[in-house]
Amino acid sequence: MINENAGSVRVRVPASTANLGPGFDTLGMSLSLYIWLEMRKSERTVVHFSGDGFEGIPADKDNLIYKVAQLVFKEAGVDVPELEIGMRSDIPLTRGLGSSASAIIAGMAAANALIGSPLSNDRLFDLATGLERHPDNVGASLFGGIIAAAWDGEHADYVRIEPPRNLKVLALIPEFELATSAARAVLPEQLSIQDAVYNISRSSLLTAALAAGRLDLLSSAMKDRLHQPYRAVLVPGMEKILEQATQYGALGASLSGAGPTLLALVDRTSSEFDQLEAFMQSVMSENGIQARTLWLEPDLEGAVCESGIHPDLFLETIKGEISS
């Protein structure tokens, strides 16, 4: 019989933004919004939620986190059939901020820690990328900072880039959801050689500029012809923001992942924070869309795991919220 008072593990995993403009399915950056997850062995599987936004998400073995945990256990050759899981999250769902990637990394990191961490982070990265089918979000959430990665269908190679010290992020989050499948459906099946070269050159320049701290190059380097022009029809006001944000103090702007969130990268020494925020909000208002803004930092730690948490510190608190 499993001891219900056995130690638990807790992880904190950041949100992420993918693409940063031209780096489609290959560039990602972690952001200072988080999911917290606690996991322990149990006699029956149950998932507890803290806060809002979890409506319709399974609280049993159909839950994504339970499934990815079992994937880790199988890979490690360990059998842990029943789990008690508690989670809370600040990351809005289906907004282009990597909520599913963060959940996958949280489930994998917690499960791995629960059994003594037999799998390396590189192996977890491959497993997570296999589920997401692109490495940008999961890489950023796992390793923190900025990730440039390539996936061959079995293995992901990556380089982690330390974000420039003065980099700050303004996220504009519209109050509507946009499924990744819908955002991918509008993309063309073929590109001209000119557009392909356009994106390759800017993705290369962007990666080098971020690595070198050349914030002055971001305006040019973040331009894209591969996905953002086609997705603009799904996010009213997006085209205007991407074209004009630099006139209001942004270093560059992009659609965050599949959207609908829009990001502006900013130099933290700038004096134009209020001007940029007001501009982006006004464009949304012009298009009849409610949106909120958040000032965020690039997260530098990625997935952080703590072992041996006393079970009453988190899971029991969540149970109390549910019963109160």
1: pLDDT strictly greater than 50 = no
- Quote the CA–CA distance of 322 and 324 in Å, as a whole number: 6
pLDDT(234) > 80: yes
For 56-107, the pLDDT digits (tens) are 899 999 999 999 999 999 999 999 999 999 999 999 988 999 999 999 999 9
CB-based burial label for 108 (10 Å; 0-12, 13-18, 19+): buried
- Chain-centroid distance of CA 57 in Å reads 18
Q: What is the pLDDT of residues 110-141, one digit of tens each?
A: 999 999 999 999 999 999 999 999 999 999 99
Structural tokens at position 114:
């629960």
Helices (H), the chain: 64-76, 99-114, 121-132, 136-143, 180-185, 193-212, 218-221, 228-231, 238-244, 273-286, 315-323
Number of continuous H segments (helices) and E segments (strands) in the chain: 11, 11
Q: What's the average model confidence in pLDDT over 30-53?
A: 93
How far is residue 219's CA from residue 79's CA, in Å, rounded to a whole number?
50
3-state SS assignment for residue 248: helix
Q: Which domains does the chain have, with CATH numbers?
A: 8-162+305-323 (3.30.230.10), 167-296 (3.30.70.890)
Interval 30-40: pLDDT, tens: 999 999 999 99
Residues 6+ away with beta carbon under 8 Å from 212: none
Query: H or E segment at 37?
Result: strand 27-41
The Cα 94–Cα 115 span in angstroms is 31
Q: What count of other Cβ atoms lies within 10 Å of the Cβ of residue 322? A: 10
**Helix (H/G/I), strand (E/B), else coil: 237:** coil
Q: How far apart are CA 99 and CA 14, in angstroms?
A: 9
| Token pair listed for 238 | 């997006």
State how far the alpha carbon of 69 is from the alpha carbons of 18, 42, 83, 106, 124, in Å. 24, 14, 9, 9, 11
Beta bridge partners, 108, equal none
Check pLDDT > 90 for residue 210: yes
